[in-house]
Amino acid sequence: MEAASRFLNIDLINRHKNSLNGIDKKIDKESLFANIRADLKKNNATIVSHYYVDPFIQEITESTGGFVGDSLEMAKFGRDCKTDHLIVAGVKFMAETAKILSPEKHIYVPTLESTCSLDLGCPASELKVMKDKHPARVLVVYANTSAEVKSMADWVVTSSIAKEIIEDLHLQGKKILWAPDKYLGSYLQKETDADMLLWDSACVVHEEFKASGLRDLKKLHPDAGVLVHPESPSEVISLADAVGSTSHLIKASQELSFNKFIVATDRSIFYKMSQLSPHKEFFEAPTGGTGSSCKSCAHCPWMGLNSLDNLSQCLSQLSNEIHLEDDLIKQAKIPLDKMINFNV
């Protein structure tokens, strides 16, 4: 079993497959949009959404003055927006990050079930043991982690800024303890030549992408460019025309000369890519299986738990609020602020 798949239970997989197959898609979009708009105004609230959530959620977010972006961009927007209530459509660690950066705001999520295999695969208690064994190393953690893990870190990074921060630490002669994504860590290690000790965890979506399937699809579309998120295995990354964060991949899809792209990241990113480049075609990179045999099927099952229904319910009831202890917020904010202010 691949590292991340152990966090997927049968119920979650079945619910995820039903969603992908359209079984759970019988919704009254316009009615839900109207309810969401009314509740945003009534509650002085704003939505921030990740590129990986349902396109309908991305649409209502942008049409109501909210923001769709990667996790770093979401955190910055949430910190700077003026409303009292912030709804984070993504996964739980993103909402925790918003609360850390904006402790005075009320932060909510459409569902408290929306977690992340990287977060689950890096318990704070286990990371502390490893950190204590290597006290001379700088602890750099990926943003896809709990508030408790962030509070232990020297640095927090997202994929959009990780390479620059690791390069800077390497130039200072620092040795690094990296957690939790082993594939992103390996990519950064190769790119920067930094001395990095890697935690063993992975993203359930990106770990499923396979180089052999990608080569086969490339044969069918030889004129297609290949876009890969660095949470993918190295064999997949080696086939890429562009490697980077979600925002970087979206930019590459606009700027590279290809009219077709094979994309190795969550397929919900196609909404933004197609919006910005409607004349281009986008194909999912092959995963470890198809139909009933794939686990993520190129879409995060926890991101998929966000829906217009539970977003509307969250807004109308102001439910699923994120609460963190004050001391935890203060400690976790230190490495987050370092990232946000890096090279400002």
Integer Cα distance of 186 and 171 in angstroms: 18
β-pairing verdict for 242-243 and 225-228:
parallel
Integer Cα distance of 57 and 53 in angstroms: 7
Integer Cα distance of 31 and 313 in angstroms: 13
Range(s) of the chain covered by CATH 3.40.50.10800: 5-115+302-317, 118-203, 206-293
- pLDDT above 60 for 135: yes
- Is pTM beyond 0.75? Reply is yes
Share of the chain above pLDDT 90, in %: 86
- Helix (H, G, I), strand (E, B), or coil: what is residue 69? strand
How many other CB atoms sit within 10 Å of the CB of residue 273? 21
Beta strands in the chain (DSSP E): 45-50, 67-69, 85-89, 106-108, 138-142, 155-157, 176-179, 196-198, 225-228, 242-243, 260-264, 281-284
Looking at the domain covering 5-115+302-317, what would its CATH class be? alpha beta
pLDDT for position 265: 97
**Homologous superfamily in CATH for domain 206-293:** NadA-like (3.40.50.10800)
Contacts of 226 (CB under 8 A, 6+ apart): 214, 218, 239, 240, 241, 242, 261, 262, 264, 285
Integer Cα distance of 325 and 321 in angstroms: 13
Share of the chain above pLDDT 70, in %: 90
What 8-state DSSP symbol labels residue 206?
G
Name the residue with tokens 């579309």. 221
CATH fold, domain 118-203, is: Rossmann fold (3.40.50)
pLDDT for position 25: 56
Mean pLDDT value across the chain: 92
What pLDDT, in 10s, does the model give residues 277-313? 999 999 999 987 554 456 658 999 999 999 999 999 9
Higher pLDDT, 294 or 334: 334
pLDDT for position 220: 97
What pLDDT, in 10s, does the model give residues 166-181? 999 999 999 999 999 9
- pLDDT above 50 for 73: yes
User: Using 50, 70 and 90 to split pLDDT, how confident is the model at 343?
Assistant: confident
pLDDT for position 21: 47
pLDDT for position 8: 55
pLDDT for position 75: 82
